[in-house]
Chains A and B, each alone.
Chain A
Amino acid sequence: MLILYARLFWTFFQIGLFGFGGGYAMLSMIQGEVINRYHWLTMGQFTDIVAISQSTPGPIGINSATYVGYISLVNAGHEHYWGFLGSFIATFAVVLPSFILMILISKFLMKFKNHPAVEETMQGLRPAVVGLLAAAALLLMNSENFSSPGVYPWQFWISIGLFFFAFIAQKIYKMSPILILVLCGIAGLLLF
């Protein structure tokens, strides 16, 4: 269990340190480390966590770190209270790099913010962050979230329909994400 805590800390510390481009881009890192590398949770569980993080108050990065910290311990067969400690460690670890960096910047680096080297580095980072976001969406398009057309065609096509509904509602009609999630939840309850 100590090893799990140490890994949680190190993983979320790295996510906090390299998490450029905000919460959504961070999701792709959480996916990469927590699911693909360590298998602490399944892709389906991860999607549920994202849904809950999006529809509850607070930054998505904090919400998902707290949730993953808890679930990782519970999935490994530990009691709830050990899960609370996991939440605390993951949340603390994801904030710690920001904390150190921001204070260093406040102290020393504010005057370098227009330095050409900073702008050059950002010119490589910004496009890559878009790729990270696209990868997060692509990785989530799997049978766990959409079911499979061969086995459960009804569920699969309903899922595809809900996907396009949510995409259009968000992109074209600028509907609030929470309303979209609530409507799709009701649809799920009635149709599946």
Chain B
Amino acid sequence: MTDIKTNTDKVNALSKESNSASSNSLWTLFLTFSHIGLFTIGGGYAMIPLIQRKVVEEKKWVSDEELVDLMAVAQSCPGIFAVNISIFIGYKLRKTPGAIISTLGTCLPSFLIILAIALFFQQYRENIYVEKIFRGIRPAVVALIAAPVFRMAKTAKITRYNMWIPVMAALAIWLLGVSPIYVILLAGLGGFAYGQYVKD
């Protein structure tokens, strides 16, 4: 009788220990971020509510204010928003290994799903019905890319004074075939130079 009791006590103690240790273990990091990667469709900003629930409310890895700060930095950095956030949080919890594991978690579900689809789609590309379906989808894709342009113009604070920047950028890429990479480099340098030498 006493044996059983001490045993259950031991088990309880063990599970408690593993609970506190596993709350920020590499495996938990991986699971959390692969969950975030798997359950957000549409990418990027659609992920914010889920990231908030998982990372702030459930795991308490960062506070709400910290997450807002991280998002501001991740947004102004190049790269994929969700990946940037996961690197920040992974690094904060477990340094470089944590960053590697959380990035892997965010990317792996999409990677495997897309590979499966690519393999499948490649085989049925020539199929007449698949072709018809995608012929219908293509104009919609163009519309889905065109629709957020105006909303983005609002968040980027486009006024009639800086409107020439997006217009010139779009025309240079569209009509002259300038690589968007050069446009970004020039715009960043231009903004910096303007702030440094012209503004004051």
Contacts and interface: CB of A to CB of B under 8 A. Distances in A.
Are A and B subunits of one complex? yes
B139 A98 contact: no
Contacts of B174: 134-135, 138-139
Contacts of A19: 78-80
Contact of A59 (B44, B170, B195): B44
B141 A140 contact: yes
A142 to B, nearest CB: 9
A133 B152 contact: yes
Given A70-B118, A134-B149, 15 more contacts: A20-B184, A24-B145, A51-B137, A58-B110, A66-B111, A87-B115, A118-B76, A126-B157, A129-B156, A130-B152, A145-B139, A147-B135, A162-B143, A189-B132, A191-B136
A54 B110 contact: no
Interface residues of A, number: 115
10 contacts: A25-B180, A48-B138, A52-B114, A99-B87, A102-B77, A120-B191, A128-B186, A134-B169, A158-B136, A177-B42
B111 A59 contact: no
Contacts of B157: 126
B61 interface: no
B40 A57 contact: yes
A147 B134 CA distance: 13
A106 B111 CA distance: 26
A77 to B, nearest CB: 13
B14 interface: no
B196 A117 contact: yes
B122 interface: yes
A101 B77 contact: yes
Contacts of A56: 41, 110, 113-114, 117
B169 A131 contact: yes
A184 interface: yes
Given A66-B111, A134-B149, A117 B195 contact: yes
A124 B190 contact: yes
A150 interface: no
Contacts of A88: 111
B79 A119 contact: no
Contact of A32 (B132, B173, B185): B173
Interface string B103-139: 1001101110111011101100000010011111111
Contact of B92 (A101, A106, A178): A106
B136 A184 contact: yes
Contacts of B165: 124, 127-128, 131
A44 B138 contact: yes
Contact of A189 (B44, B129, B138, B141): B129
Interface in A67-122: 67, 70-71, 74, 80, 83-84, 87-88, 91, 94-95, 97-99, 101-103, 105-106, 110, 113, 116-122
A141 B145 CA distance: 11
Contact of B139 (A14, A20, A113, A146): A146
A105 B77 contact: yes
A137 B146 contact: yes
